[in-house]
Each structure stands twice: as structure tokens, then as C-alpha cells.
Amino acid sequence: MCGRVIVDYDEMIPVASDSELAEWVSGTPIGAASSWNVKPTQPVPVALTSAKTRERRFEPAHWSLVPPWARNLSQKYPTFNARAETLSERRTFAPALKHQRCAVVVSGFYEWTGPKQARVPHAVFGPRPMLLMAGLYSWWQDPGAAAGEGWHLTTTVVTRASAGAMATLHDRMPVLLGSALLADWLDPDSEGDQSLVDSVSEASVQLAKDLRTYAVHPLRGDGPELILPI
């Protein structure tokens, strides 16, 4: 699973602006701030191409996907991760898979090992200070809001069985996006189905070989000191 991420805009933006995301990322989203301890339901940056206007966007989203038919922003069951293997079968995620796919853009993420009473967090990074994780997005409107108001952009991270450096940390990992399939994943004109998910998931195995991990101290508070190795 992926339940805690690192978002360092100062490091990510220069890399993103000179990468395959250049057409989406022009700078730090207005009001966004770096964090080394982002939890589900907090904002995470996503890159997407609007299914309605075809506008390329890069902005924070509520990290837990809320389908349009939900009555509340808070869900009774976790929706910050979505299993790749069953993505097209889940009522919550299947509609978004068709035309509302995104990249969740982070600096890195955390995973834990050890017994419940003494879990050890590990920071996970790629070969550059930016990781692209396959995600889905959905717009949710507060039922009590006035017309045109109360809209929330929400997202989930797609996960798969662990591979590469992640295999010794946890049985699940985020599906990583590489340049080969990024355009297809972000293209709302291409209808997403399970075969697309399977292709992106399989390609993630090779990308996972380049991940590096190391143990860090228990995550308390926020700040770059959280990613210092033990």
C-alpha cells in the first residue's frame, strides 16, 4: 500500500518542468506547500488532462477518491489506494478509470517494516527527486453547496504487488509511471480499461528496480529532517 508520501516542491518542480510532465507543470500550485509527511485526506499534487476541456492541469487533490454519488467527503472505507488487479470491477473506481486518470506527483513515499509494536519507517525514492504514481481522479460536489460551488478534486493511488526494492518492505507498492505509457495514461480521449491498467502495472516492475530505500526515524511532525537516514 501507499499511505504516506513526501512532496518537496522545491526539488520536484525543476525536474518536472524539464521532463515528460513539462506540458502540465509550470510551477508550484497556488497555495500549495511542501510536506515530508503527507497523509491520506491531505492534499497531494496531481497532473491530469481534463476530460471536459482537455486542459492540462497540475494542482493539489484530496488524497482519497470520492465518487460523485457519495454524500460525504469522508468515506467509511479507505479510498486512498486502489488495487490495480480489480480496478475495472470496483464501483468506486471503474468510472474514473475510463477517462479520469492522473499522475500523482511526489518526491518519494514511506513504507513500514517490523512488528506492530515496533514498526520502522523506510523512505523510498527514485533515481531523480520526482516519482510519478498512477492515479485516478474524481470531482465531488458538496450536496449542500450553491450551484457552481463546493467542488473538490479527489484522487487515489493505484497499487500492485511489490517488486524490485519494494519486495522486502511490503507486499504492495504504488504503480509507477514511466515515459513510455505516461501519455496513454493521461489521455482522456483513450478509454481506460483493465488491459491499460495491466500494461502500466507490468511496466512498473522495471521501474521498481531503480528505487532506493533506507530506514528513518519514526514520523513525528513535519520537515526535511524526517527523511534523514538512521
Q: How confident is the model at residue 95 (pLDDT cuts 50, 70, 90)?
A: very high
C-alpha cell at 30: 497556488
> Which of 32-36, 115-119, 178-182 bottoms out in mean pLDDT, i.e. has the lowest?
115-119
Q: Residue 1: pLDDT above 80? A: no
SS3 of the chain: CCCCEEECHHHHHHHHHCCCCCCCCCCCCCCCCCEEEECCCCEEEEEEECCCCCCEEEEEEEECCCCCCCCCCCCCCCCCEEEHHHHHHCCCCHHHHHHCEEEEEECEEEEEECCHHHCEEEEEECCCCCEEEEEEEEEEECCCCCCCCCEEEEEEEEEEECCHHHHHCCCEEECECCHHHHHHHHCCCCCCCHHHHHHHHHHHHHHHCCCEEEEECCCCCCCHHHHCEC
- If one compares 75 and 179, the residue with the highest pLDDT of the two is 179
- What residue segments make up the domains of the chain, in order of their start? 5-220
pLDDT at 116: 85
Neighbours of 210 (CB within 10 A): 14
163: pLDDT confidence band, cut at 50, 70 and 90?
A: very high
Mean model confidence pLDDT for the chain: 95
pLDDT tens, position by position, 208-230? 999 999 999 999 999 999 999 99
3-class DSSP string for 118-154? HCEEEEEECCCCCEEEEEEEEEEECCCCCCCCCEEEE
CATH homologous superfamily of 5-220 equals SOS response associated peptidase-like (3.90.1680.10)
Q: Which residues pair with 123 in a beta bridge?
A: 110, 214
pLDDT value at residue 2: 80
Is 90 a residue whose pLDDT tops 80?
Answer: yes
pLDDT bracket for residue 88 (50, 70, 90) = very high
CA distance 230 to 226: 10
pLDDT for 145 equals 86
Q: In what order do the strands lie in the sheet with 35-38?
A: 35-38, 5-7, 108-113, 120-125, 212-215
| pLDDT of 200 over the 90 cut | yes
Confidence of residue 144 (pLDDT cuts 50, 70, 90): confident
Q: What local confidence, expressed as pLDDT, does residue 201 receive?
A: 98
Closest CA to 122 of 130, 114, 112, 132: 112
| pLDDT score recorded for residue 191 | 93
- pTM, to two decimals: 0.96
For 109-138, the pLDDT digits (tens) are 999 999 888 899 999 999 999 999 999 999
